[in-house]
Chains A and B, each alone.
Chain A
Amino acid sequence: MKRQTLVLLAALGLGAVAMAEVLEVKSAQVAIRQRDSNLAKLEATAPRGAKLTVLERRGNYAKVEYQTKQGWVKLSELEPPKSDKPTGIASIFKDDNQAGAAQESAASKGLEKETLAYSQSAHLDPAPLQRLIDRRKKIIDSGEWQAFADEGKVGAR
Chain B
Amino acid sequence: MKLKNVITMASLLAVGVMSMGSSCQKMAESVGTAITGDSRGGQIAGAGYQGVRKQSIGPAEERAIGESTAMAITTSPGLLNNDLLNDYVTKVGLTVASVAGRDDIEFTFGVINGSTPNAISAPRGYIFITEAALRRMKDESELAGVLGHEISHVIRNHGIDAVKKSGGTDALVEIGVAASGTSESNPLVQAMPKLTELFKNMVYNQSQEREADLDSVRYLRAAGYDPTGLERFIDRELKASGTLFASHPANADRVNALRAATGPNPGGQRLAERFAKYVK
Binding site for B on A (CB under 8 A): 37-39, 60, 74, 103, 106-107, 111-115, 117-119, 121-122, 124-126, 128-129, 131-133, 135-136, 139-140, 144-145, 148-149, 151-157
Contacts and interface: CB of A to CB of B under 8 A. Distances in A.
B240 interface: no
Contacts of A136: 90, 94, 106, 108-109
B60 A132 contact: no
Point out which of B91, B108, B269 has the most chain A C-beta atoms below 10 A from its C-beta.
B91
Contacts of B63: 107, 112
A103 B62 CA distance: 13
A37 to B, nearest CB: 7
A32 B274 CA distance: 31
A128 B64 contact: no
A66 B159 CA distance: 41
A112 B188 CA distance: 12
A144 B83 CA distance: 14
A67 to B, nearest CB: 25
Contact of A103 (B59, B83, B103): B59
Contacts of A113: 64
A153 B269 contact: yes
A132 B79 contact: yes
A63 to B, nearest CB: 16
A149 B188 contact: no
Contacts of A156: 98-99, 222-223
18 contacts: A38-B103, A103-B60, A114-B189, A115-B67, A118-B189, A121-B189, A121-B192, A122-B72, A125-B71, A125-B75, A128-B74, A129-B70, A132-B110, A139-B87, A139-B90, A139-B91, A152-B224, A155-B94
Nearest to A76: B104
B91 A124 contact: no
Contacts of A140: 94
B65 to A, nearest CB: 8
Interface in B175-205: 186, 188-189, 192-193, 196
Listed from nearest, the 3 A-B pairs whose CB atoms lie closest are A114-B64, A156-B98, A112-B64
A115 B68 contact: yes
B225 interface: yes
B208 interface: no
Contacts of B1: none
Contacts of B106: 38, 136
Contact of B108 (A114, A133, A144): A133
Contact of B99 (A103, A112, A144, A155): A155
A127 B189 CA distance: 19
Contact of B68 (A114, A132, A135): A114
Point out which of B71, B86, B186 has the most chain A C-beta atoms below 10 A from its C-beta.
B71
